[in-house]
Chain A
């Protein structure tokens, strides 16, 4: 075993590196994105009992499950969006698996999002973050913390008669992140874009710009309040679906516990 892996194993063993689950439970009643009804809709998670130690299978229980690639906590691949349709290796089965494990930074927008449902992540906020934590390193996952994952039911999508209202990035913010050559962008809301993201130019800038640039998205994350601004490692491998545009997945973060047993840095 290499020294690095041994050290990681030891750190995981003694709790100095904690595994934090950033995933919502796949539940039939978990919200999915809602598009105008004439468009095709995102299928909700469904589970159908095949047998339960009964006549259909005496010693075993199992289910058939079905869902959209973008149901629950999920990964967006570049080919998800029209702007990324020609990106090389843009489907989930083609992406270099090395891309699924990488450093993560968290921009805490929870205070603003608590008072403004349409809270925007702007270049100014990113600049302020960088002033405190340093320039976002290339190859990082950037997660926008809003504490939106603590919302339940109707509060989560927050639909009004002019559509959903939830925080998200402005086009300029995404352009700035692309300049930093990030790995991908993730949110606690149902999409990487704001609820009202259709009204930006371009519409849905996170999807449009990120995927066009071959970057990834993560949505419906939770527990972002348990991540440090910097220093954690994200593990986010989607299912290997042939030609898949995304996939529900289990997102894990390896988080160093600076307070647990002394400073290890």
Chain B
């Protein structure tokens, strides 16, 4: 059974901090299919469209019938661990710092044998459940997990290196006014977060949640206005060195298209939703990126909440959609910029939320609790893109299938 992860001791200031390094990051183009599946928590392998043979490692032609028509499909996760090793020597700088490291061979029920990372609770002969996860290099990798959940299994060091689990970590939630902030705080505390900082803008006009949140144990309300660079920098100077997870809940939304609405709300939307993200990344990013290997409470994730209409505009929220597309684009650049540090950028996409700005919309709408749960899932599973709620999932699927058809449907061309 996994040893329970203990809260880290205070740092010994005389010891050098572990330098962020990455596991091997080079991959073929075909192998990026694993990364794409891992990013959204799917377990996909290539299936031959002609003969159905399941392939692994990723390749360009079927090893059974030479067809080049290979499609990534959800695949059964079950397999048997047929060999294991504990590696004590590696020329790779990332693994050298983390030895010994266990890996094994799993024969999948789907066919192929997979060389994979091993969770501490599995051994040779065991039936295992395979998972695809993003490693610190941001690439999809296989890990064999116990079929049944074991106590403290998330604390396993190899699994934890593939997730952004909040346990013992310090979290900044950027906007106390977001309706999801309270359920998010509750969820993070339940997941073992060490401390939660909650940003509050315009402290001269406190919201109704202020007193209840400020009174919570392990929670501090801090002044933070993402639309004000000096405010963001001031808070980063204060807590930037101990922010392990940043969850950006700040969001400005107003209904209205492009022709009818003025640009004042649009500017506010871009200031908060797009430029606010940039300001947070500029102020907190470098500090977090330098601490991605810093022990139990290392920096792990930068989380954005985005409307699924970042993918395709909702003309009833035209300027808001534009700000979400901008934020999505910024998050992609951040991923590139954080790549060398291993800091993960997580985007949680949501459909219309059940709040004051989506009153006229029919259900289903995403309740704040569900959104908070998606964020927690993304962290504990180590996902990169999460779609919360039926509307977001449906829209993503349609977007994946045909972005142009979806655009026409959303802009009033379908029945």
Residues of A within 8 A of B (CB): 28-29, 31, 34, 37, 40-41, 43-44, 46-49, 153-157, 159, 161
- Contact partners of A44 in chain B: CB under 8 A: 202, 227-228
- Contact partners of A46 in chain B: CB under 8 A: 227-229
Residue of B nearest to A161 (CB): B208
Asked, given contacts A29-B228, A40-B262, A49-B229, whether A159 binds B223 with beta carbons under 8 Å apart, the answer is no
Q: Does B165 contact A (CB under 8 A)?
A: no
Could you tell me the distance between the alpha carbons of A264 and B264 in the complex, rounded to whole angstroms? 53
Shortest CB-to-CB span from B234 to chain A, Å, is 10
Asked, given contacts A40-B262, A40-B264, A40-B265, whether A31 binds B202 with beta carbons under 8 Å apart, the answer is yes
Is A29 a contact of B204 with CB atoms below 8 Å? Answer: yes
Please list the 6 inter-chain residue pairs (A to B) with the smallest Cβ-Cβ separation, ordered nearest first: A31-B204, A28-B228, A153-B204, A159-B205, A154-B204, A40-B264
Given contacts A28-B225, A47-B229, A154-B206, 16 further A-B contacts (CB under 8 A): A28-B230, A29-B231, A40-B264, A40-B265, A44-B202, A44-B227, A46-B229, A48-B229, A49-B229, A153-B204, A154-B203, A154-B204, A155-B204, A157-B204, A157-B205, A159-B205
Q: Does B356 contact A (CB under 8 A)?
A: yes
Number of interface residues of B (CB under 8 A): 18
Q: Does B268 contact A (CB under 8 A)?
A: yes
Could you tell me the distance between the alpha carbons of A159 and B208 in the complex, rounded to whole angstroms? 11
Q: Type the 1/0 row for B262-302, where 1 means its CB is closer than 8 Å to any CB of A.
A: 10110010000000000000000000000000000000000
- Contact partners of A157 in chain B: CB under 8 A: 204-205
Could you tell me the distance between the alpha carbons of A40 and B229 in the complex, rounded to whole angstroms? 22
> Interface centre among B228, B231, B264, by most A CB within 10 Å?
B228
Within the complex, which residue of A28, A34, A41 is in contact with B268, where a contact is CB–CB below 8 Å? A41
- Contact partners of B225 in chain A: CB under 8 A: 28-29
Is B204 a contact of A156 with CB atoms below 8 Å? Answer: yes
Shortest CB-to-CB span from A199 to chain B, Å, is 20
Please list 10 pairs of residues, one from A and one from B, whose beta carbons are closer than 8 Å in the complex, sorted by A's number.
Answer: A29-B202, A29-B203, A29-B223, A29-B228, A44-B227, A44-B228, A49-B229, A153-B204, A154-B205, A157-B205
Residue of A nearest to B265 (CB): A40
- Contact partners of A159 in chain B: CB under 8 A: 205-206
Could you tell me the distance between the alpha carbons of A31 and B228 in the complex, rounded to whole angstroms? 14
Shortest CB-to-CB span from A67 to chain B, Å, is 12
Shortest CB-to-CB span from B210 to chain A, Å, is 9
- Contact partners of A37 in chain B: CB under 8 A: 356
Is B264 a contact of A153 with CB atoms below 8 Å? Answer: no
Could you tell me the distance between the alpha carbons of A48 and B276 in the complex, rounded to whole angstroms? 13
- Contact partners of A153 in chain B: CB under 8 A: 203-204
Residue of B nearest to A28 (CB): B228
Residue of A nearest to B208 (CB): A161
- Contact partners of A154 in chain B: CB under 8 A: 203-206
- Contact partners of A40 in chain B: CB under 8 A: 262, 264-265
Shortest CB-to-CB span from A85 to chain B, Å, is 18
Is A31 a contact of B205 with CB atoms below 8 Å? Answer: yes
Could you tell me the distance between the alpha carbons of A48 and B203 in the complex, rounded to whole angstroms? 21
- Contact partners of A161 in chain B: CB under 8 A: 208
Shortest CB-to-CB span from A219 to chain B, Å, is 15
Could you tell me the distance between the alpha carbons of A29 and B227 in the complex, rounded to whole angstroms? 11
- Contact partners of B268 in chain A: CB under 8 A: 41, 43
Is B205 a contact of A34 with CB atoms below 8 Å? Answer: yes
Is A47 a contact of B205 with CB atoms below 8 Å? Answer: no
Could you tell me the distance between the alpha carbons of A28 and B356 in the complex, rounded to whole angstroms? 26
Is A47 a contact of B230 with CB atoms below 8 Å? Answer: yes
Could you tell me the distance between the alpha carbons of A154 and B200 in the complex, rounded to whole angstroms? 12
Shortest CB-to-CB span from A102 to chain B, Å, is 32
- Contact partners of B204 in chain A: CB under 8 A: 29, 31, 153-157
- Contact partners of A29 in chain B: CB under 8 A: 202-204, 223, 225, 228, 231
Shortest CB-to-CB span from B274 to chain A, Å, is 14
Could you tell me the distance between the alpha carbons of A68 and B356 in the complex, rounded to whole angstroms? 25
> Interface centre among B206, B230, B268, by most A CB within 10 Å?
B230
- Contact partners of A49 in chain B: CB under 8 A: 229
Q: Type the 1/0 row for B220-253, where 1 means its CB is closer than 8 Å to any CB of A.
A: 0001010111110000000000000000000000
Q: Type the 1/0 row for B189-205, where 1 means its CB is closer than 8 Å to any CB of A.
A: 00000000000001111
Could you tell me the distance between the alpha carbons of A44 and B203 in the complex, rounded to whole angstroms? 13
- Contact partners of B205 in chain A: CB under 8 A: 31, 34, 154, 157, 159
Residue of B nearest to A31 (CB): B204
- Contact partners of A47 in chain B: CB under 8 A: 229-230
Could you tell me the distance between the alpha carbons of A49 and B231 in the complex, rounded to whole angstroms? 13
Residue of A nearest to B279 (CB): A48
Could you tell me the distance between the alpha carbons of A31 and B231 in the complex, rounded to whole angstroms? 14
Residue of A nearest to B268 (CB): A41
Could you tell me the distance between the alpha carbons of A48 and B279 in the complex, rounded to whole angstroms? 11
- Contact partners of B231 in chain A: CB under 8 A: 28-29
- Contact partners of A155 in chain B: CB under 8 A: 204
- Contact partners of B208 in chain A: CB under 8 A: 161
